[in-house]
């Protein structure tokens, strides 16, 4: 009988990385019955090979596997993918040293065999909720970066100056242009970003990762 757990908001991906076919099968059944979209992997190597093209999702990672064990997978997963695949390490009963090392290597949680279904589902639900927030922030950053990319070089400099706390007049001095020209660039960047205030423009700039304007020197 599948234990009750918070229902996922959508069919979230969960990756089951275990060399034991029986474990992959039973865990995948549990996850499917609980509303998730399981994807089994017979080895850590297979998962790492496919990870760049996979949808973000929690990964249930067995610590003891031949060739490439769970700890090695944690060591080798690319830095830019770590936040997209929160790892739940599965250890043997009482194997705390491995669990501690896994957490130091970036695992988000661990669970001991044999584990209760409800405990596993609670961990996956919590980490999936956190992952949704990570993905939302990354999507917002990309969207804001795309808006900033529409700016001309001078408009981007103007935005950077405003983000550093400069007024239109002081920004004009920094950029070596007239105040009227600076006002024109500010109006144009507002139009391209779809904003009406400096605060809104700054919010988009910071969200897009625009560098701090303190590096600007008077022209």
46 closest CA partner among 31, 22, 24: 24
Strands (E), the chain: 13-17, 37-41, 57-62, 87-91, 109-112
Residues near 76 by beta carbon (within 8 Å), at least 6 away in sequence:
44, 48, 68
pLDDT at 92: 80
- Tell the residue number behind the tokens 């065999």, with chain if given: 113
Q: Taking 80 as the threshold, does the pLDDT of residue 9 lie above it?
A: no
Beta bridge partners of residue 90, listed in sequence order: 62, 111
**Domains detected in the chain:** 13-142 (3.40.50.2300), 150-215 (1.10.10.10)
Q: Is the pTM of this model over 0.75?
A: no
pLDDT at 29: 97
Q: Taking 90 as the threshold, does the pLDDT of residue 209 lie above it?
A: no
Residues near 19 by beta carbon (within 8 Å), at least 6 away in sequence:
42, 43, 62, 65, 66
Q: Taking 50 as the threshold, does the pLDDT of residue 144 lie above it?
A: yes
**Mean pLDDT, residues 158-187 taken together:** 94
Question: Over the chain, what is the mean pLDDT?
Answer: 89
């Amino acid at each position: 009988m599948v234990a009750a757990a918070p229902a996922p908001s959508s069919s979230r991906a969960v990756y089951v990385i275990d060399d034991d076919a029986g474990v992959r099968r039973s865990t995948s059944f549990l996850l499917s019955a609980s509303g998730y979209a399981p994807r089994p992997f017979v080895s850590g190597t297979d998962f790492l090979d496919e990870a760049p093209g996979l949808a973000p999702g929690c990964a249930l990672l067995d610590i003891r596997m031949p060739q490439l064990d769970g700890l090695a997978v944690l060591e080798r997963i690319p830095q830019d993918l770590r936040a997209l695949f929160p790892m739940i390490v599965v250890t043997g009963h009482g194997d705390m040293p491995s669990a501690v090392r896994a957490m130091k290597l970036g695992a988000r949680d661990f669970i001991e065999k044999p584990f209760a279904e409800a405990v596993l589902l609670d961990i996956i639900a919590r980490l999936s909720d956190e992952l949704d927030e990570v993905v939302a922030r990354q999507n917002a950053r990309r969207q804001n970066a795309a808006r900033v990319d529409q700016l001309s070089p001078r408009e981007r400099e103007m935005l950077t100056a405003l983000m550093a706390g400069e007024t239109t007049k002081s920004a004009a001095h920094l950029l070596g242009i007239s105040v009227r020209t600076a006002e024109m660039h500010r109006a144009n960047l507002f139009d391209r970003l779809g904003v009406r205030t400096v605060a809104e423009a700054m919010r988009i700039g910071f969200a897009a990762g625009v560098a701090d304007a303190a590096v600007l020197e008077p022209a």
